[in-house]
């Protein structure tokens, strides 16, 4: 697992440097499931609609869920990133019966099976 440094508070010293005594170490314990898909470009709006209206409300209620992103290209290629507390939770989501119901609605809109891969999150930032 990677480690992340979270700044709780920072006080400038006389030399203008920040004191490392003010840093608190916290480990990043997250896992990302990345799924790549291809669809005819004309189907992307419907894919996004199903994703927003059905997938997002379902996944956001699952234990360990941290975030989800749908990213598309005009070519019809799209990617879904699911962020979870643990690898086990990430891998359990595609097996969930509710996920499978949404996947069944998406399947006719796709040009093939998704390509999935998992990654440990080593660092992250959110604005």
Q: Is 2 a member of any domain?
A: no
- As to burial, measured by CB atoms within 10 angstroms (0-12 exposed, 13-18 middle, 19+ buried), residue 12 is exposed
Would you call 14 helix, strand, or coil by DSSP? coil
Q: pLDDT per residue over 12-41, tens digit each?
A: 333 334 344 433 444 558 999 999 999 999
Q: Is 47 a member of any domain?
A: yes
Q: How many domains does the chain have?
A: 1
The conformation of residue 122, written as its DSSP 8-state character, comes to -
| Separation of alpha carbons 14 and 45, rounded Å | 57
CB 38 within 8 A of CB 109: no
Q: pLDDT per residue over 61-80, tens digit each?
A: 999 999 999 999 999 999 99
Smallest CA-to-CA distance from 82 within 98, 68, 66, 92 is with 68
For the residues 41-65, what does the mean pLDDT come to?
96
Q: What residues make up the domain containing 109?
A: 29-120
DSSP track, 64-119: TEEEEEEEE-TTSEEEEEEEESSHHHHHHGGGSHHHHHHHHHHGGGSSS--EEEEE
CATH number of the domain bearing residue 41: 3.30.70.100
* Predicted pLDDT at 124: 82
Rg (CA), the chain: 19
The structure's pTM equals 0.74
């Amino acid at each position: 697992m990677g480690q992340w440094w979270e700044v709780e508070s920072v006080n400038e010293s006389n030399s203008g440097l920040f004191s490392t005594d003010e840093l608190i170490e916290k480990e990043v314990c997250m896992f990302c499931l990345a799924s790549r898909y291809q669809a005819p470009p004309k189907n992307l709006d419907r894919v996004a609609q199903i994703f927003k209206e059905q997938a997002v409300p379902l996944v956001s209620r699952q234990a360990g869920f941290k975030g989800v992103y749908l990213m598309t290209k005009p070519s019809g290629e799209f990617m879904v990133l699911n962020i979870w507390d643990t690898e086990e939770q990430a891998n359990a989501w595609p097996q969930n019966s509710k996920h499978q119901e949404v996947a069944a609605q998406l399947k006719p809109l796709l040009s093939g099976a998704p390509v999935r891969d998992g990654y440990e999150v080593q660092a992250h930032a959110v604005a």
